[in-house]
Amino acid sequence: MSLSTIRIVLVEPAGPLNLGSVARVMKNFGLSQLFLVSPQCDRRSEEAVLMAVHAHAILENAQVVNTIPEALQGCHFAIATIGREYSGQLPLESPTDALPSLFTASDQPVALIFGREDRGLSNEEINYAQKLIYIPTNPEYPSLNLATAVAICCYELSEIAQINLIENKPIPETAPAELREIYYQELETLLLNIGYLYPHTAARRMEKFRHLYNRANLQTNEVTMLLGILRQVEWAIKNSQNIEPK
C-alpha cells in the first residue's frame, strides 16, 4: 500500500492558515488525499492558498463532507489523534508505534483523523477509530498546532513507507471498517434481545466492546468467524423450541 491511499481527515478546521499549511506538509511527504468534515473556513481563501504554496491542488481537490462516517466511507482502518486527557479504553500510542497499522495488505483507503483546533475530537468521534495517537510534548505547554501535528504524523508515515519498501515487510490484512461495523451492529442487536444490554445504557456498553475489539486488531477472517458465531446464536434462539437437548 502506498501513501496515496492514506486520507488525512480534518474535523471542522477553522483556520485557513492551518488548512493551507496542512496541504503543504502533505505534499512535502507524499500524501494527497485530504478530507474536510464540516470545515469552518474556505479552503479556496487567499490565506489558505498562500500558505499551501505549491500544494494548492490538494486544497482544490479536497473532499468536503458533513460527518466523520462520510469521510471514512470505504476505509479499511482509521487512527485518531488526541491532545487532551482521555479516560476511554483505547491505549494512547505514539505515532511511531501506531502509524504502521495504516499500512495494510488491502488496497482500500485508510484514514488518519485530526480534531478541531480548539477542542479536538469528542469521545464519541474517537470511537470511529481503531487506534489512538498522542504526541508527547512539553507538559508546560502541551498544546500542538494542528498543522504541526499533521506534519509530525506525515513525516512518520513517509519514513514507515520507505522502510517497508526497503525491507519488503509482509503486511497483515486487518478487517475493514465496514465489516467491523456490521459486527458491532449485529452484536448490539443480539445483546439487546437477550437482555444483556438495556436501551438506555447500550451506547456506553457498546463503546467498551468497540475498544476491546479495536485493541485486538482483528483480521478479516477473525471478524467473519465472530459474525458466524453471532448468527448461529441468533438462529439457535429463534429455533430453540425445535432443538432437542443432547
What is the torsional sign of CA 195, 198, 201, 206?
positive
Domain boundaries, the chain: 3-167, 177-242
Tell which CATH classification among 1.10.579.10, 1.10.3720.10, 3.40.1280.10, 3.20.20.70 matches the domain 3-167. 3.40.1280.10
pLDDT recorded at residue 89: 73
What predicted TM-score, i.e. pTM, was given to this entire model?
0.72
Q: Are 86 and 92 within 8 A, CB to CB?
A: yes
Q: Give Rg (Cα) of the chain.
A: 20
Q: Are 105 and 173 within 8 A, CB to CB?
A: yes
Torsions phi, psi for 200 (to 5 deg): -75, -15
pLDDT recorded at residue 55: 95
Torsions phi, psi for 131 (to 5 deg): -140, 160
CATH 1.10.8.590, domain 177-242, yes or no: yes
- Residues in the chain predicted with pLDDT less than 70, given as ranges, are 1, 104-106, 164-173, 241-246
Q: What confidence tens digit (pLDDT) does each residue in 147-172 have?
A: 999 999 999 999 988 886 555 555 55
